Amino acid sequence: MTFLPSYAKGAWWTPEGDPDAAIVRDASTGEEIVRVSTRGLDLAGAVAHARTAGQKSLGALTFPQRAMVLKNLAIALNDRREELYALSERSGSTRRDSLSDIDGGIGVLFTFSSKARRELPAGRVVLDGPIEPLSKDGSFLGRHVYTRLPGVAVQINAFNFPMWGALEKFAPAFLAGLPTIVKPATPTAYIAEAWVRIAVESGLLPEGSLQLVSGSVPGLFDLLDLGDTVGFTGSATTAERLRSQARPGVRFTSETDSINASILGPDAAPGTPEFDAYVKQLLAELTTKAGQKCTAIRRAIVPTGMTDAVAEALRQKITERVVIGDPRDEGVTMGPVVSLAQRDEVLRQVRVLTDAGGRFVVGSAEPPQGMSADGAFLQPMLLAFADAATPAVNDIEAFGPVASIVEYTDVADAATIVSRGGGSLVTSVATHDPDVATELLTRMGAMNGRVLFLDRDDARTSTGHGAPVPHLVHGGPGRAGGGEELGGIRSVLHYMQRTAVQGSPRMLTALTGVWHPGADTDTGGIHPFRKPLSELRIGDAVESAEREVTLDDIEVFARFTGDTFYAHMDEESAAANPFFPGRVAHGYLLVSWAAGLFVDPAPGPVLANSGLENLRFVTPVSPGDRIRVALTAKQITPRETD
């Protein structure tokens, strides 16, 4: 028998044997793939390795350096994705399904790397918000900062996305400087082992930054404490059980089963682009990954009298486009669910729905014709309910190619139906009416982590109801778990601690790597524009000579630019405005002069001025006033690639 290895303490480890090991089988053929067990694994040693070696190696890197590791890791995985596709097929995934898991996971790494290099500083501390002056003379300041946690990020993942689901948690934790232990779900743990093996073989991973536990983790929560995090994806019941085991200092977030909804707007009648987009999306959510997605549509909410039209359109598309079978066979567009046990669980939940009054309007619970009895095959199913308030509709998630369809009377009723789900990861709305969209968002926004508005303008470019993107929050309130995985830099900060820091400008400059007004400057010697980054230091500054503003300067600038606003050209009108003492200089005149006052014109290390941020004109400047410029190197962010 073949056992699936784990990767712990910097080495691959395989159990010597375990008669109770879980057996993982091919979803289409029933053939045994591998056995999974952690009997004999030093789990405490893995946690200790993360806290020591992992913390040390990641702590030595800056945010941009960590970001470059993610980029190169994405390249390494991308180069070998065909190997991962082949493994994914054994779990029942078609090539299209694998794109969302394998290519989606690689895309997460690329996106986080790019965003980190653009949005995070060159150091290891993230600033949160502006300076808070705490003294009149500026000698005592406050600032909120994020610093990395001292522990380990443990992720417990679901079977449906063994790569994307892990990398969406790994990438932000890695950027934050927190080492990760991945615990994949057993049915697809062999896919997780494969991508981790590629990552290890790439030689890119800092020591201890990533470990893999293939199998159960008994006693793990006894090893975790303040500074550690747990990210769980799975059922709400399991999430609550695990949450109760976590010590108070352990951050526990979950992304759990969700009764997501999709609303057909009252304006989206048959024949409209919105109706067509709605049905196409419903088909995709029923058949992609055989409906095994936490973001899949579970409730199709349509206007009164529209059930038959939607069902007929869906049946037609299934007939035209859906071929059920082994994903390795040519032409197959929908594979089996992950295992026979999962198939039986889906059918059990379908029986609960039919017992509650659901009637099949698309498909049935019968096995698809011509399929092997050893394969976990199901056909797409849509069940109609006469009463949208039926508890089972809003509570039962058949985690497969199954959805319910209910009708609403008006927009307010549609929002009420959404809210009965108790909190969702996503709701989508097919409408071209901004008033309908506005009312729905106002009424149901708080019940969802994400809301997608689908219409003729974005139907071609939309990523779709069930496709989270790294840039936006993935999670949801209530039953959906309350977590916020992904979400760009927000998710990086989840793995860091926000602290209010107080001190002098000099001290805050040293702590944050950003110059604060009142801290030391160096105005002697070489102009900052003459220094390459290897010599430039925070606080390097130049103070210009003064330049007097004359009325003639103002008039020349006005005529040259065409900006003859009355405050610059009409003394009487300007003086009548309580903000101005009379005619004043243009703000852009002052900015233009500023460049002339601080610039060093000869060619040198400075290539270009890429723009200004937070530019405001707060004090009127009158003829006869004199201005000068103080230019200080506030922050230095070198590019790792240049």
**Terminal CA-CA length for the chain:** 50
| Catalytically annotated residue among 89, 168, 193, 255 | 255
Rounded to an integer, what distance in angstroms lies between the CA atom of residue 573 and that of residue 566?
7
Rounded to an integer, what distance in angstroms lies between the CA atom of residue 277 and that of residue 165?
27
Q: Is 215 left (phi over 0), alpha (psi -120 to 50) or beta?
A: left
Q: Residue 437: in which H helix or E strand, if any?
A: helix 434-444
Buried b (16+ CB within 10 A) or exposed e, 196-206: bbbbbebebbb
Rounded to an integer, what distance in angstroms lies between the CA atom of residue 18 and that of residue 32?
16
- Residues for the chain: how many in total? 642
Active site residue 546: no
Rounded to an integer, what distance in angstroms lies between the CA atom of residue 124 and that of residue 260?
38
The pair phi, psi for residue 153, each rounded to 5°, is: -100, 115
Q: Annotate 459-473 with DSSP letters as a single string.
A: TTT---TT---TTSE
| 519 SS3 class | coil
Rounded to an integer, what distance in angstroms lies between the CA atom of residue 515 and that of residue 12?
46
| Catalytically annotated residue among 294, 397, 407, 484 | 294
Rounded to an integer, what distance in angstroms lies between the CA atom of residue 540 and that of residue 528?
6
Active site residue 294: yes
Rounded to an integer, what distance in angstroms lies between the CA atom of residue 347 and that of residue 341?
10
Q: Is 208 left (phi over 0), alpha (psi -120 to 50) or beta?
A: left
Q: Count the neighbouring beta carbons within 10 Å of the beta carbon of residue 190.
A: 22
Please, are residues 166 and 153 in contact by the beta-carbon 8 Å criterion? no
Question: What are the residues whose beta carbons fall under 8 Å from the beta carbon of 302, sequence distance 6 or more?
Answer: 263, 264, 310, 405, 406, 407, 408
Beta strand segments in 257-355, E: 261-264, 299-303
| 184 SS3 class | coil
Which tokens go with 594? 């500023």
CA angle 185, 87, 157 (to 5 degrees): 20
Active site residues: 255, 294
